[in-house]
């Protein structure tokens, strides 16, 4: 990683599918000559329902803060054995890769068949 890459701070965006309705899948716009980070650190600030006085006496919500790490699955897949990668997937509540790929292909096949039926109607 170069010094220039270390200086770049990724921003998370949500694209509007229709006005006022954001896509549930965010994206990171990666500048030219940069790479997507292999891991993102994101603070979770969970409201406790309690408040404390602010600098001007206003009520400010109290939050519990916890730091989370999100790793790129493509990097893990490339650097781990298949069985270890499947253990990570299982820990995340995902099916083993071969099973997930087969199920995904079945969904794609059904969608393509439905699309083909619509074009012949």
Position 94 pLDDT exceeds 90:
yes
Give the whole-angstrom CA distance, residue 66 versus residue 16. 28
Position 120 pLDDT exceeds 90:
no
Radius of gyration of the CA atoms of the chain, in A: 21
pLDDT for 2 equals 52
Which of 6 and 31 is assigned the larger pLDDT?
31
* pLDDT-derived band at 6, boundaries 50, 70, 90: low
Write out the H or E segment, with its range, that includes residue 71: strand 59-71
pLDDT in tens, 53-63: 999 999 999 99
């Amino acid at each position: 990683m170069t010094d220039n890459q270390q200086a770049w701070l990724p921003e998370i965006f949500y694209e509007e599918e229709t006005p006022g309705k954001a896509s549930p899948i965010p994206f990171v716009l990666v500048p030219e000559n940069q790479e997507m980070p292999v891991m993102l650190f994101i603070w979770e600030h969970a409201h406790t329902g309690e408040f404390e006085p602010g600098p001007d006496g206003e009520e400010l919500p109290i939050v519990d803060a916890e730091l989370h790490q999100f790793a790129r699955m493509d990097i893990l897949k490339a650097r781990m054995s298949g069985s270890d990668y499947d253990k990570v997937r299982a820990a995340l509540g995902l099916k083993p890769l071969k099973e997930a790929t087969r199920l995904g292909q079945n969904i794609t096949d059904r969608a393509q068949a439905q699309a083909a039926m619509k074009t012949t109607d």
